[in-house]
Amino acid sequence: MNINAAENINAAEIARGERFEFGQNWSQFLASIDEERIQQAESSLKQMLEVESLAGKTFLDIGSGSGLFSLAARRLGARVHSFDYDPKSVSCTRQLKKNYFQDDESWKIQEASVLDTEFMKSLGQFDVVYSWGVLHHTGQLWPAMENAQARVAPGGKFFIALYNDTGSQSARWYWVKKTYNELPGILRTPFAVLVTIPGELKLMAASVLTLNPRRYTDSWTNYRRNRGMTKWRDIIDWVGGYPYEVSTPDQVFDFCRARGFTLTKLKCGYVGLGCNEFVFEKK
């Protein structure tokens, strides 16, 4: 599929309320990227991949979003290939490259879909295939997983994060996300505030009951420690993030094990509706 056709499909899906404008959200986050956020992103990669450097490694970033983690991988020494389905996300990644690695031949950026099997095959294989919070937004989670895992070189690592399946709670949030995208633009921010108030009130009450008011304020002021993100942009991404699919840790583990992967790192405790994080190594 050519780029213009893909952009037209993406725009049509957004106009019909079938897809969230992920790239627009990342565009607004871009201005807040600073050295501290970049270092937090680097720390996240080093911790989960259990490395201190990616020098000499190849790194595929599927759904690069703002480009923050592509930048982090490049600063850790990897040769990076980034792509995203959303043209505004691609623009964000290109802007970040321009800011930090202009004209660098070791960082390539494209507009493409993980569901495009022929495109994925054309990429070859990589030492690290990274896709954090992306594959569950394709509308076809398991075909996306199939295409992504095939890009991991023997001995390489597959680092993914996928929404946790919490049953009826996940079903309710499916409705919330679908509703958000069907609303007129002027109503979306008030709706996002409305649906997040219960969670914020619970956190605020816990802060009061434990006589620790900073527990709540820090959830906003120190949010950058959470992979370098901002809380408000994550809220909008969470409320609006549609298409939306979920999976259990067992489903992900069984899928990857059947394709020759061994689990090396896992974060799935107390994530609730959030993302389970997995690192698999290809035998």
pLDDT value, residue 169:
93
pLDDT value, residue 5:
57
Residue 226 corresponds to which tokens in the numbers above?
């959470």
pLDDT value, residue 205:
84
Same structural domain for residues 174 and 214?
Answer: yes
pTM for the predicted model, two decimal places: 0.87
Q: Which residue has the tokens 């939306």?
A: 244
Same structural domain for residues 182 and 77?
Answer: no
Same structural domain for residues 193 and 103?
Answer: no
Q: What is the CA radius of gyration of the chain?
A: 18
CATH of the domain at 15: 3.40.50.150
Low-confidence ranges of the chain (pLDDT < 70): 1-9, 17, 216, 219-221, 223-229
pLDDT value, residue 214:
74
Q: Quote the CA–CA distance of 61 and 65 in Å, as a whole number.
A: 9
Q: Quote the CA–CA distance of 161 and 275 in Å, as a whole number.
A: 6
Question: What is the per-residue DSSP string for 226-252?
Answer: TTT--HHHHHHHHHH--S---B-HHHH
pLDDT value, residue 200:
83
Domain that holds residue 157: 3-165+245-282
Residue 9's nearest CA partner among 92, 93, 112 is: 112
pLDDT value, residue 206:
79
Beta strands (DSSP E) in the chain are: 58-62, 79-84, 107-111, 126-132, 152-163, 261-267, 275-282
Same structural domain for residues 94 and 45?
Answer: yes
pLDDT value, residue 229:
60
Residue 166 corresponds to which tokens in the numbers above?
């919490």
Residue 148's nearest CA partner among 68, 65, 60, 64 is: 60
Same structural domain for residues 221 and 233?
Answer: yes
Same structural domain for residues 139 and 62?
Answer: yes
